[in-house]
Amino acid sequence: MLETVQLTKAFKGKTVVDEVDLYLDQGESVGLLGPNGAGKSTTISMISSLLKPTSGDVKLNQKSTIKNPVDLRKVLGVVPQEIALYEELSAYENLKFFGRIYRVPKSELESRIQDTLEIVGLKERQKDLIKTFSGGMKRRVNIATALLHNPKILILDEPTVGIDPQSRNYILEMVRQLNEQKGTTVLYTSHYMEEVEQLCNRVYIMDHGKVIAKGTKSELLSILSNEDTISVQPNRIDEEFLAAVKKIEGVRKVEVSGEEINIIAKKVSNIVSELVNVGERHQVQILNFQMENPSLENVFLHLTGRTLRD
Amino acid sequence: MWTFLIKDLLLFWRDRKEVAIIILLPLALVVILSLVMPGMFGEGSEEEYDLDLALVKEDDQERSLELFEDHLRQTSDLSNNEIEELLIGVRAHLPVEGLIEYLNSPELAEWVSVEAMEKETAQAEVEQGNLDGALIIPEDYSFQLLADMYLNEPTEQALSFQADDQTMEVEILSNVIQSYLDHMNLHHAISSAGGEVEVPSEALPQGQVENVEGQQSFSMDQYFTISMGALFVLFLAATVATRTGIEKRENTFKRIVLTNSPPLYYLFGKTMGTFILAWCQMMLILIGSHLILGVFSDHDITVWVGLILMATMYALAIAAISAVMTSVMLRLKNSETGDGIFMMVIMVFGVIGGNFVPIYLLPNWLQQIGEMTPNGLVLATLIEWIQYEDFSILVMPTVILMIIVIVSLFIGVKLYPKRGDVS
Ligand SMILES: Nc1ncnc2c1ncn2[C@@H]1O[C@H](COP(=O)(O)OP(=O)(O)OP(=O)(O)O)[C@@H](O)[C@H]1O
Ligand SMILES: [Mg+2]
C-alpha cells in the first residue's frame, strides 16, 4: 500500500537517510527501530510529505507521491515526535480546528471529536488549555489530532518518549486496538524495543541512516539462533578483565551496561567456565550470571555493537 | 478559510492582554506625551507670530471708482442700467477695502498689527527694523484692480510689499495677501458666471491665517497621532509574523500542511486577523486621541471620511504585507532571524516614512523615498488631506495601497512553502 524506494536525504552533504526501502501492507503494524539520530524522524518526514527527499521515492499504491502528495495526505494520520498543538487553545479547540481543516464533514465533526477524545481518554479535560496538560496528556491529544479524519495509515514517531509508564501503556494499547479493530495500518517508530516487540508484526531496524535488518520478530531473532546472550554481574569491572573476556574463544561482542556485562558468544558449552577462569585470573568475582532469551535489543547489539539507547 | 481566521482570532483572544497592549500603545503614547509636553499639543502648538505691518494707502477709493465708471462708459458696450447695477455691486465689495478689513480682522489681529502710515515714514521704519514690513497700495490701484477683474485688462501697478528681511512671517503675510487677491479674482469669476455676488471675506477658509498657501494647517499633535498610528500598525504586522514563528516552532504548521489546506486559507487567516487588529488600532488612536485630546476638533465630519478611508486602506496594505512576512517566516530556518529582519525593515520604513522624525525635516530625496513606504505614503497623504480636505488627494494613494495589497498577497502566496518541514 505504501512503500519507499531508495529513499535518501542529505543535509548539507551529510547523508542521514541512506537508500531506505520500506513497505507497509494494508492492516499491518510495522515498527521502525533505531537509536537516537538513526534517521527515523527524517524518514517519517519524507514519507508523510513534509520533507522533500534528496533522492528516491515514496509510493502510495504504486503511485509516486513526491510531485503531488494530496492523495497521500488524505489517507495519512501523522503523529509527530514533537507535540504539534496550539498551547493556548483547549484540547477541544485544537481538535475542532484541525478537524475542520481536515474537512471532516460538519455533521460528523462533533461526534468524531468526542470519539477520539474517548479513545485517548481525555473527554473530561477537553475544555482545558493544552498548556495546562501533563506531558502524557499532550501526547495523547497529539495522537487524537491525527485520528480525527479516520486515516487509513497511522504514522507515529516516538509517541511515548518522556512520559509515565501508565500513559505509555495506554497509548500502546490504543494503537494496538486501532490496528486490530479498525484495521488501521500502523508505522510505529521507537527506540524502545519492548514497544515494538509488543505492537508490531514486522520490524525495520535503522542505524546511521541505513536499514540494517528487517523482518518479523522471529526472523530477526533467528539472526541470533546460533548465539547465546549472557549477562554477567561481576563485583568490579576493569579494562584488563574486559579485554580478557573478549579474547575468550567464541565471544563475539562484549558490552558494558551499568554494573553488568552483556556478552554475545557462539553457542559453545564451555563459555561459562571460561568466564569464571578469566575472572579468577584477574581477581574478579562473578556475582551473578544469566543466560538470556535473545531479544531484539540483542539483535541490535549484535548488528551494531551498541545498545539502542547509548 | 474562516476556520483559520477564527483560530487566529481565538489565539489573539487568549493573548488578549499582550494584544491589547500592542493595540493601545500608540494611543497611550500620544496621550502620555501630550501630558509630558503640553506645549507640543493642543492650542499652544500653533506657532505664534507677531508682526508689525505698516499700511500705506496711496489709493483713493472714490477717485478709483470714478475712473472705473468713466472707463466703463467709454470702453464697454454695457447699457447705462447695467453699469449702474455693476457699480452698486462693486461698491458693496470694494476690493482694497476688503483687503484692509481683512488685515484688521480679529483672526489676523492675533499676529499682525496694522498701522496706517505715510510712505516715507513706513519705509524708514522698515529700514530701521522697527517694522517687519510695509504694504503699499499704489495710487489708482483700486481702479486697476477693478479693470482687471471686470474687464480683463492687465494691471500695470502692483501691490508692493516691502520688508527688510525675508523672514518666515513676512513670507506668510505676503502669501496671505496674494491668496486673498487670488481668491477675490476667483470669486469674481465664479460670481460673474453664476450671477450672484458674495462677500469674499466670508468665503475665506477659516484657518487661512496660519498657512503659507492659504489652506488649513495641520498641527504637531495631528502629525504625531497619525505617525504613531501608522508606525504601530507596522509593529503589529511584525507581531503577527512572530506568531507565525511560534506556529512553526510548535509544529502546528506541519499539521496544517498535512491537511492539504490551500495556502491562501492559512494566509487569509493571518491577513484578515492582521487587518482587523490594525484597523482597530488605527481607529483607536484616531478616535481616542480626538476624544481625549481634541486633536481634530477644528475639523468637521468630512475630515473623518478621509481619515477612515486611508486608515482602512493602510490596514489592508499592512495586512497584505504581513502575508509576505508570514510566508518568509515559514521559509526561514530560524524564526528569530525573521523577527530581527522584520524589526529592521520596520525601523527603516518608520524612519524614512517620517514616523519618527517629522517628514518635512528630512531631505527632499529622502521624503520622496519615504512616500514609497506605505506608512510614509499614508502619513503624507493624511497630512495633506487635513489641510485641504480635497478628495482628489486620496485617489492616488488609495490606488497605490490597493496595488500593494494585490502584489503582496501574490508574493505571499508564491512564497508560501509547499511542504511543512522547511528546515
Ligand atoms: N534539518 C536538519 N539539518 C541538518 N541535520 C539534520 C536535520 N534534521 C535532522 N538532522 C540530522 O539527521 C540525523 C537523523 O535525525 P533524525 O531526527 O531523523 O533521527 P531520529 O532517528 O529520529 O532520532 P531520535 O530517536 O533522536 O528522534 C541526525 O544526525 C540529525 O542531526
Ligand atoms: Mg526522531
The reply to whether B182 and B140 lie within a common domain is: yes
Digit-coded pLDDT (tens) for B125-137: 888 877 877 888 8
**Alpha helices per DSSP H over B37-79:** 61-75
The reply to whether B89 and B186 lie within a common domain is: yes
CB B44: neighbour CB atoms within 10 A? 12
The reply to whether A104 and A179 lie within a common domain is: yes
Please give the span between the terminal C-alpha atoms of chain A, in angstroms, as a whole number.
Answer: 34
Q: What is the DSSP string of B130-182?
A: SSSEEEEE-TTHHHHHHHHHHH-PPPSS--EEEESS--HHHHHHHHHHHHHHH
The reply to whether A11 and A95 lie within a common domain is: yes
Q: Are A195 and A188 in contact (CB under 8 A)?
A: yes
Q: Are A213 and A223 in contact (CB under 8 A)?
A: yes
Digit-coded pLDDT (tens) for B36-56: 766 554 444 344 557 788 888
Q: What is the DSSP string of A77-140?
A: EEE-SS--S-TTSBHHHHHHHHHHHTT--HHHHHHHHHHHHHHTT-GGGTTSBGGGS-HHHHHH
Q: Which residue of A has its CA nearest to B260?
A: A70
Number of folded domains that form chain A: 2
Determine contact: B4 vs chain A, CB below 8 A.
yes
Q: Cα torsion at A110, A115, A118, A119 (round to 10°)? A: -140
Q: Is residue B277 part of a domain?
A: yes
* CATH at A289: 3.30.70.100
The reply to whether B158 and B231 lie within a common domain is: no
Of all protein residues, the one whose alpha carbon is nearest to atom 6 of ligand 1 is A11
Strand order, beta sheet including A260-266 = A251-257, A260-266, A227-234, A286-292
Q: Which residue of A has its CA nearest to B11?
A: A88
- Count A/B contacts: CB-CB distance under 8 Å: 66
Bridge partners of residue A29, in order along the sequence: A186
* CATH at A76: 3.40.50.300
d(CA B13, CA A88): 10
Extract the C-alpha cell encoding A249.
Answer: 574463544
Pocket of ligand 1 (CB under 6 A): A 11, 16, 34, 36-42, 81, 158, 191; B 423
d(CA B355, CA B370): 10
Read off the pLDDT of each residue in A136-154 and give the average, rounded to a whole number: 91
Sort out which chain B residues have CB atoms less than 8 A from A85's CB and list them. Answer: 250, 252
Digit-coded pLDDT (tens) for A45-95: 999 988 889 999 999 999 998 888 889 999 999 999 889 999 999 999 999
Index of the ligand 1 atom closest to the CA of residue A38: 21
Q: Which residue of A has its CA nearest to B12?
A: A88
Cα(B254) to centroid of ligand 1, in Å? 17
The reply to whether B81 and B28 lie within a common domain is: no
Extract the C-alpha cell encoding A2.
Answer: 505504501
Range picked from A210-224, B16-30, B312-326 for highest mean pLDDT: B312-326
Number of folded domains that form chain B: 2
Domain carrying residue A83:
2-221
Cα(A40) to centroid of ligand 2, in Å? 5
Q: Looking at A166, A188, A221, which one is the last position of a domain?
A: A221
Q: Is residue B151 part of a domain?
A: yes
Read off the pLDDT of each residue in B73-86 and give the average, rounded to a whole number: 80
The reply to whether B252 and B171 lie within a common domain is: no
Buried b (16+ CB within 10 A) or exposed e, A123-151: eebbeebbeebeebbbbbbbbbbbbbbeb
Q: Looking at A161, A193, A221, which one is the last position of a domain?
A: A221
Q: Is residue A214 part of a domain?
A: yes
Digit-coded pLDDT (tens) for B187-233: 555 545 443 333 333 333 333 333 333 345 677 778 888 888 898 99
The reply to whether A148 and A27 lie within a common domain is: yes
Q: Is residue A139 part of a domain?
A: yes
The reply to whether A63 and A139 lie within a common domain is: yes
Q: What is the pLDDT of residue B72?
A: 82
pLDDT at residue A210 above 80? yes
Question: Which three-class secondary structure state does DSSP give residue B197?
Answer: coil
Write out the H or E segment, with its range, that includes residue A76.
strand A76-79
Residue whose C-alpha is closest to residue B126's, from B189, B78, B185, B170: B170
Residue whose C-alpha is closest to residue B140's, from B57, B230, B20, B37: B57
CB A179: neighbour CB atoms within 10 A? 20
d(CA B351, CA B98): 46
Read off the pLDDT of each residue in A199-208 and give the average, rounded to a whole number: 90
Question: Which three-class secondary structure state does DSSP give residue B112?
Answer: strand
Q: What is the pLDDT of residue A251?
A: 83
Extract the C-alpha cell encoding A179.
Answer: 490496528
Q: Is residue A310 part of a domain?
A: no
CB contacts under 8 A, B 264-283 vs A, are 265
Name the residue with higher pLDDT: A163 or B39: A163
Q: Looking at A174, A189, A221, which one is the last position of a domain?
A: A221
The reply to whether A237 and A109 lie within a common domain is: no
The radius of gyration of chain B's CA atoms, rounded to the nearest angstrom, is 29
Q: Is residue B208 part of a domain?
A: no
The reply to whether A27 and A158 lie within a common domain is: yes
The reply to whether B98 and B226 lie within a common domain is: no
Q: What is the pLDDT of residue B318?
A: 93
d(CA B295, CA B115): 35
Distance of CA B176 to the CA centre of its chain: 19
* Number of the ligand closest to the Cα of A190: 1
Name the residue with higher pLDDT: B170 or A55: A55
The reply to whether B182 and B266 lie within a common domain is: no
Q: CB A86 to CB B252 under 8 A? A: yes
The reply to whether B181 and B295 lie within a common domain is: no
Q: What is the pLDDT of residue A100?
A: 92
Q: What is the pLDDT of residue B419?
A: 67
Q: What is the pLDDT of residue B166?
A: 61
Q: Are B237 and B274 in contact (CB under 8 A)?
A: yes
pTM over 0.90: no
Extract the C-alpha cell encoding B307.
Answer: 481619515
Which residues are CB-contacts of A34 (< 8 A; sequence separation ≥ 6)? Answer: A40, A191, A205, A206, A207, A308
Q: What is the pLDDT of residue A95?
A: 94
Domain carrying residue B39:
2-44+217-415
d(CA A150, CA B150): 88
Please, which contacts does A195-201 make with residues 24 or more away whose CB atoms are closer than 8 Å? A195/A31, A195/A160, A195/A168, A196/A31, A196/A33, A196/A296, A197/A295, A197/A296, A198/A172, A199/A29, A199/A31, A199/A172, A199/A175, A200/A29, A200/A30, A200/A31, A201/A28, A201/A29, A201/A30
Q: Is residue B110 part of a domain?
A: yes
Q: Is B200 exposed, middle or buried (0-12, 13-18, 19+ CB in 10 A)?
A: buried
Q: Is residue A170 part of a domain?
A: yes
d(CA B231, CA B245): 22
Name the residue with higher pLDDT: B358 or B376: B376
The reply to whether B225 and B292 lie within a common domain is: yes
Q: What is the pLDDT of residue B157?
A: 66
pLDDT at residue B396 above 50? yes
The reply to whether A150 and A8 lie within a common domain is: yes
The reply to whether A36 and A134 lie within a common domain is: yes
Name the residue with higher pLDDT: A191 or B167: A191
Residue of B14, B255, B260 with shortest CB distance to A98 = B255
Q: Is residue B235 part of a domain?
A: yes
Question: Which three-class secondary structure state does DSSP give residue B245?
Answer: helix
Digit-coded pLDDT (tens) for A282-305: 888 888 888 777 777 777 777 777
The reply to whether A70 and A139 lie within a common domain is: yes
* Number of the ligand closest to the Cα of A192: 1
What is the ipTM, given to two decimal places? Answer: 0.78
Cα(B330) to centroid of ligand 1, in Å? 20
* Number of the ligand closest to the Cα of A20: 1
The reply to whether B77 and B223 lie within a common domain is: no
Q: CB A84 to CB B419 under 8 A? A: no
Name the residue with higher pLDDT: A207 or B168: A207
- Per-residue pLDDT band at B246 (split at 50, 70, 90): confident
